[in-house]
Amino acid sequence: MTLFRGPSPTFLLQQTFMKVIAMLTSRILRGLSFGVFFPFVLTVAVSSFAWSKPNVLFIAIDDLNDWVGCLQGHPQAKTPNIDKLAERGTLFSNAHCQAPLCNASRTSLMTGLRPSTTGIHGLAPWFRDLPEWKGVVSLPQHFSRNGYRTYTTGKIYHHNYGRIPGTEFDVVGTPASGGPYPKEKLVDTPTKMRIVDWGNFPHRDEDKGDWKVASWAVEQLNAKPKEPFFLSVGFFLPHVPCYATEKWFDLHPEESVKLPLVRHDDRDDTPRFSWYMHWKLPEPRLKYLEESGQWKNLVRSYLACTSFVDSQVGRVIDALDANGLTENTIIVLWSDHGWHLGEKLITGKTSLWDRSTRVPLIFAGPGVTKGETCNRSVELLDLYPTLVDMCGLPENNQLAGQSIVPLLQDATAKRERPAITTHNPGNHAVRSERWRYIVYADGSEELYDMQADPHEWTNLANRPEYDNIIAEHRRWLPEKNAPLAPGSRDRILSYIDGQPNFEGEDIKPEDAIPGF
C-alpha cells in the first residue's frame, strides 16, 4: 500500500531548501552582509543550491494536436513512447496554447508574456527586434543566469530565431528541417508552395531532419553533460510537409484509416468573422480534400509522421535513462498548437476552436505524481513559472503564467483560471473545464458546451439562457490588447473602424469565402 502518491519528501525538502538558498543569494547580491561568515555562507549556499537543482529535458513537437494515444484524439494514433512518458508523470488533457501559430505561440511560452501584451501574432517579427521586448529575460536565459548549462536543437523558437550561441542558449545544435524532400511535390494542392505537401516517397529515417535532431540530443546526453543542464529538443514533424518513410505508413493501412467526424453545415452557426481568421491560407479546405480524394492520404500522412516523431522522442528519453540521468531530470513535452484535418471544414491552424488550441502537455520526473491525468484547464504560458518553481530558481515577476506545481502533486487540486488563446488583436478564446467561449474583434461570439458537444457543432452564444456563462468567461479576457507589433507579417488580420483586412487585403461583406 502506497501512502505517499505525490512527490517524495526528499524532493520537497530539496525544493524548499533551494528556494531558501535562492532568497539568501538574492539578498546577498543586493549588498547585505553576514559579517565574517559571508564568504563561507555564500560558497556553501551556492554550491549546495547548484548540486540540488534538477535537470530539465524540454521536448517540443510542432503542429501536434491531440492525435496521441494517451489523449485519445484519434482512435488509430500510435505513440507508444509519448504514452509511456505520460505513465511516468502527469498528463494534462485540457492544455491550450496562447496563439494558434508557431512564432506567436513560442514567443509567448518562452517570454512568459501573452500575445495581447507583445502584439506578436504572425510569423514575424522576432521579439528581440522590438525595442520594448529586446531585453526580456526568456526561459532559457533565466535558467542560464541561475547556474544551468543550456542546450538547444531543432525548433524551439520559430524558424532560425534564437540560434546564435550564447544569446538564448549556451550551446546550439542541429537546426530543424522537414527534409529530405522529393524531387517534385507529391500532391497538386491549390497552393504551389512546396511546404504544403504530404505522402510517402523513398527515403531513410536516418536522413530526416528530426532523426538528426534526436541524434544530437542523444550525443549530448551520452557525453554526460555537467549538471544541472537545460536541454531543449524541438521536432519539426508532423508539421507540413508530412513526409514519412514506408514503415510508418504501414502502421496505418490506407483501407482502415478513419477520417475525422465532420458536419458539412458546421459553419452555418459560426460568425462570418470566424472565416477571416484563415481567409486565404496555403493549407487547403476540406472541399479540396474531398474533391481531389486527398483527405484520407493527408490523415494517414499526419498519423504516420506523428508515429515517426514519437519514435524520436523515445530515442532521446532512452538516452536519458541509459545515462543514469532520469531520477534528477524533469521532462516536459509540449506542442505549440494543434492542427485541423477537416474539422470545421478546414485544414491547418489559426482558429480559436479546440482542434487548433488544444495541445499535448506532459510533465514527468522528480516532484511529479506518476500515472495521473489532470483535466484542469492549463496554458503553455504556465510552463515558464512552473519550471522555475520546480527547480527552485528566483521568481521572474514579469511572467503572466501561473505555476501548476500544485496540479503536478495533486491532479484534482483547485484551479480557477481558464486558458486564454488569442489570434490577432481582439480575437480571444476562453477555455474552462466545461466551456469554450470565443469573441471576435467585431464583437461576434461563440459558446460551446465541451462536455455535451466535444466537436463544437452547436454554437450556444445567441441563447439567453447562457448569458451568465458568457459573462463569467468574459471576465477572463485580457485587459490589454496591444496593436500589431511593427514588422508583423504572415497570417495577419486587422480590424480597424469596422474594416477587416487580411494580409493587406480588405475583405468586403459581399466577398465569397475562398475555397468554400
Same domain? For 63 and 25 the reply is no
Same domain? For 389 and 324 the reply is yes
CA distance 119 to 83: 36
152 forms bridges with which residues in the sheet? 172, 232
Over residues 316-345, the pLDDT tens digits come to 999 999 999 999 999 999 999 999 999 999
How far from chain centre, in Å, is Cα 312? 18
Label residue 21 by pLDDT band (50, 70, 90).
very low
Domain assignment of residue 516, yes or no: no
335: its cell numbers:
506542442
Same domain? For 133 and 242 the reply is yes
Q: 163 is in which domain, residue-wise?
A: 53-506
CATH number at residue 266: 3.40.720.10
Same domain? For 17 and 81 the reply is no
381: pLDDT strictly greater than 80: yes
What is the radius of gyration, based on Cα positions, of the chain?
A: 23
Given a contact cutoff of 8 angstroms between Cβ atoms, the answer to whether 363 and 379 are in contact is no
Same domain? For 65 and 41 the reply is no
Given a contact cutoff of 8 angstroms between Cβ atoms, the answer to whether 464 and 451 are in contact is no
Instruction: Say what the pTM is.
Output: 0.91
Domain assignment of residue 176, yes or no: yes
Please report the pLDDT score of residue 16 as a whole number: 53
18: its cell numbers:
533551494
Segment 18-25 mean pLDDT: 48
Catalytic residues: 102, 158
Top pLDDT among 257 and 10 is at 257
Strand 428-431 with 435-439, pairing: antiparallel
Same domain? For 39 and 59 the reply is no
Over residues 402-448, the pLDDT tens digits come to 999 999 999 999 999 999 999 999 999 999 999 999 999 999 999 99
Same domain? For 40 and 58 the reply is no
Please report the pLDDT score of residue 351 as a whole number: 98
Burial class (CB in 10 A: 0-12, 13-18, 19+), 114: buried
Share of the chain above pLDDT 70, in %: 90
Q: At CB < 8 A and 24+ separation, what contacts does 2-11 make?
A: 5/369, 6/369, 6/409, 6/410, 7/366, 7/367, 7/368, 7/369, 7/408, 7/409, 8/366, 11/366, 11/367
Domain assignment of residue 515, yes or no: no
Please report the pLDDT score of residue 15 as a whole number: 54
Domain assignment of residue 346, yes or no: yes
Please give the C-alpha separations between residue 384 and each of 58, 404, 419, in angstroms, as whole numbers: 11, 10, 15
Label residue 155 by pLDDT band (50, 70, 90).
very high
Please report the pLDDT score of residue 52 as a whole number: 73
Helix 102-111 and helix 383-390: axis angle, to 10°? 30
Residue with cell 496554458: 379
SS3 content of the chain, % helix, strand, coil (to 5): 35, 15, 50
Strand 358-359 with 347-348, pairing: unpaired
Same domain? For 104 and 220 the reply is yes
Q: How many C-beta atoms lie closer than 10 Å to residue 296's C-beta?
A: 14
Same domain? For 466 and 417 the reply is yes
Over residues 503-515, the pLDDT tens digits come to 999 999 999 999 9
Which range is least confidently modeled, 45-49, 223-227, 462-466? 45-49
H helices of 223-294, where?
246-250, 273-276, 286-292
Q: How many C-beta atoms lie closer than 10 Å to residue 482's C-beta?
A: 17
Same domain? For 179 and 205 the reply is yes
Please report the pLDDT score of residue 14 as a whole number: 52
Domain assignment of residue 15, yes or no: yes
**Cβ-proximal residues to 435 (8 Å cutoff; 6+ apart), any chain:** 447, 448, 449, 450, 469, 473
Same domain? For 134 and 263 the reply is yes
Domain assignment of residue 83, yes or no: yes
Asked whether the bond before 385 is cis by omega within 30 degrees of 0, the reply is no
- State the DSSP code for 346: B
Longest dimension (CA), the chain: 81
Top pLDDT among 23 and 310 is at 310
Of the candidates 457, 456, 438, 434, the residue with the CA atom closest to the CA atom of residue 375: 434
Please give the C-alpha separations between residue 97 and each of 191, 311, 358, 359, in angstroms, as whole numbers: 27, 24, 7, 7
35: pLDDT strictly greater than 70: no
257: its cell numbers:
484509416
Same domain? For 197 and 326 the reply is yes
CA distance 107 to 113: 8
Given a contact cutoff of 8 angstroms between Cβ atoms, the answer to whether 294 and 242 are in contact is no
Half-sphere exposure of residue 151, counting CA atoms within 13 Å on the CB side?
26
CA distance 513 to 516: 6
Please report the pLDDT score of residue 477 as a whole number: 98
Domain assignment of residue 3, yes or no: no
Q: Catalogue the E-assigned strands of 194-254.
A: 198-199, 229-235, 242-243
Given a contact cutoff of 8 angstroms between Cβ atoms, the answer to whether 380 and 299 are in contact is no
Please report the pLDDT score of residue 75 as a whole number: 97
Given a contact cutoff of 8 angstroms between Cβ atoms, the answer to whether 251 and 78 are in contact is yes
What rounded mean pLDDT belongs to the chain? Answer: 92
- State the DSSP code for 91: E
Give me the number of domains the chain comprises: 2
40: pLDDT strictly greater than 60: no
Q: At CB < 8 A and 24+ separation, what contacts does 289-295 make?
A: 289/342, 289/347, 292/187, 292/188, 294/187, 295/259, 295/342
5: pLDDT strictly greater than 60: no
Domain assignment of residue 1, yes or no: no
